[in-house]
Amino acid sequence: MSEKFISNRLTLIVLASACTVILISMGLRQTFGLFFQAFEEGLGVTRTEFGLAIGIQMIFWGFFAPIFGLLADKFGGNKAVFAGFIIFALGIYMIYSGPNTGIFFQIGLGVLIGTALGATALAVPVSEVGKHFTDKNRTLATGIVTAAASVGYFLAPLFTKYSLGEVGWEETFKYFLYFVFFGAIASLFLLPKKDILTNIGSVKEQTFFESMKEAFSHKGYVLLLSGFFVCGFQITLVGTHIPGYMQDRGMDGWPATIILALIGLFNIVGTLGMGYLGTKYKKKILLSLLYASRAVIISIFIFSPPSLGMSIFFGITFGMVWLSTVPPTNGIVAQIFGTKYLSTLFGIVFFSHQVGSFLGAFLGGYFYDLYGSYDYAWYVAIALSAFAALVHLPIDERPIARSSIAS
């Protein structure tokens, strides 16, 4: 008898809640690169300072992902994510109302919004959904949630570009507050599952510290940390600096917006497709192919003459591999270790992602200010793709052999 994908009403509610939360938080996050010119002209922010703020945002996002993950594991994802949206609102309010220059710019865009993303974006919502599904359906479920981020990626840049032209950046940030409020309401329905799903031994008796020791002694977990670092570097380099890169190549204006929007649109196909393929094939092989594809796509893009057609090509192809790394990565963690501490364990993997994100954001701006070009940042991204394609191959995806823990 085939297993039902949606087993009960609670599962459906949690899935819908997570999709809404992710759509809003990741959609807003995707737009910040479009503000660099407004911040440069209105606040006197240099590209290095802007890259640093985004880098700080990535680090705080990653640092607080396992912390909010632990809170979600202990008290429920709805409470953790709601708290994150409150912090998100504070960060947005600080940026448009002030003080918003110098260190305060770094605090608003970097510290506060980064902390908020630790609760609202990817790690916690995806993992909370994963707890409601079995191994057979988990990668597809997390693929659906990640695809919701893609909808946000597609819609948010289009709205932001239009709003910037019509009312300016301060009013656009005020509009963002309405979206954050709606996300906070939706997060209240990210309800915990009573009975934690597991396929490996007496997980319920395992303590938090035992689970951490177990994870970091597993080679596959360490390799996932290394691989997801690369993912963070690449997507943040693109999301933060593609507007500046396109402007430098004589294509400022809509081409960068088109790229970001197409990334969001075609990431829907990529994440859903990867979620499905993750139920059929080894996830480590899928990840290796994804990272190898990124190297090819980036190389074609930067070594080809700039054109609208090449912009469309890059948006479509890079969108296909944008967040499609998330379902198999989260799926491997759950498959090896079970789901009791999934939000925490995946949150730690995500922290590695955000360390890479910090470097992608910061080094992109740093290389530009130093050499007058983004080329060296792209070269690093290509080399890291080759590294990530290789590092996933030795991962053992089998559930860890765990003896029953005495009660």
For residue range 296-333, what is the model confidence (pLDDT) as tens digits? 999 999 999 988 899 999 999 999 998 899 889 988 99
* Structural contact between residues 149 and 95, judged by C-beta atoms closer than 8 angstroms: no
Q: Is 407 inside a domain boundary?
A: no
Q: Is 337 inside a domain boundary?
A: yes
The DSSP output letter for 108 is: I
The DSSP output letter for 110 is: I
- The structural domain count of the chain equals 1
- What is residue 45's three-state secondary structure? coil
* Structural contact between residues 323 and 154, judged by C-beta atoms closer than 8 angstroms: no
Segments forming the whole domain that contains residue 33: 10-193+208-391
Q: Is 309 inside a domain boundary?
A: yes
What pLDDT score was predicted for residue 2? 56
Percent of all residues in the chain with a pLDDT value above 90, rounded to a whole number: 40
- In this predicted structure, the answer to whether residue 392 has a pLDDT above a threshold of 90 is yes
Q: In 78-133, where do the E strands start and end? A: none
What pLDDT score was predicted for residue 79? 94
- What is residue 190's three-state secondary structure? coil
Judged on CB neighbours under 10 Å (0-12, 13-18, 19+), 398 is exposed
- In this predicted structure, the answer to whether residue 3 has a pLDDT above a threshold of 90 is no
- Arithmetic mean of pLDDT, 108-121: 94
- In this predicted structure, the answer to whether residue 403 has a pLDDT above a threshold of 60 is no
Instruction: Please report which helix (H) or strand (E) contains residue 355, including its range.
Output: helix 342-371
Rounded distance between C-alpha atoms, residue 50 and residue 10, angstroms: 42
Q: Is 405 inside a domain boundary?
A: no
pLDDT band at 407 (very low <50, low <70, confident <90, very high): very low
Q: Is 403 inside a domain boundary?
A: no
What pLDDT score was predicted for residue 34? 83
What pLDDT score was predicted for residue 150? 80
- Arithmetic mean of pLDDT, 192-205: 54
Q: Is 1 inside a domain boundary?
A: no
Q: pTM higher than 0.75 for the full model?
A: yes
What pLDDT score was predicted for residue 203? 44
Query: Cα dist. 5→128, 138, 330, 343 in Å?
Result: 16, 9, 18, 21
* Range in 38-42, 63-67, 192-196, 377-381 the model is least confident about: 192-196
Instruction: Report the CATH number at residue 278.
Output: 1.20.1250.20
Rounded distance between C-alpha atoms, residue 119 and residue 347, angstroms: 10
Q: Is 203 inside a domain boundary?
A: no
The DSSP output letter for 400 is: P
Rounded distance between C-alpha atoms, residue 38 and residue 34, angstroms: 8
Identify the CA nearest to 287 among candidates 197, 363, 389. 389
* Range in 6-10, 88-92, 202-206 the model is least confident about: 202-206
What pLDDT score was predicted for residue 205? 64
Q: Is 200 inside a domain boundary?
A: no
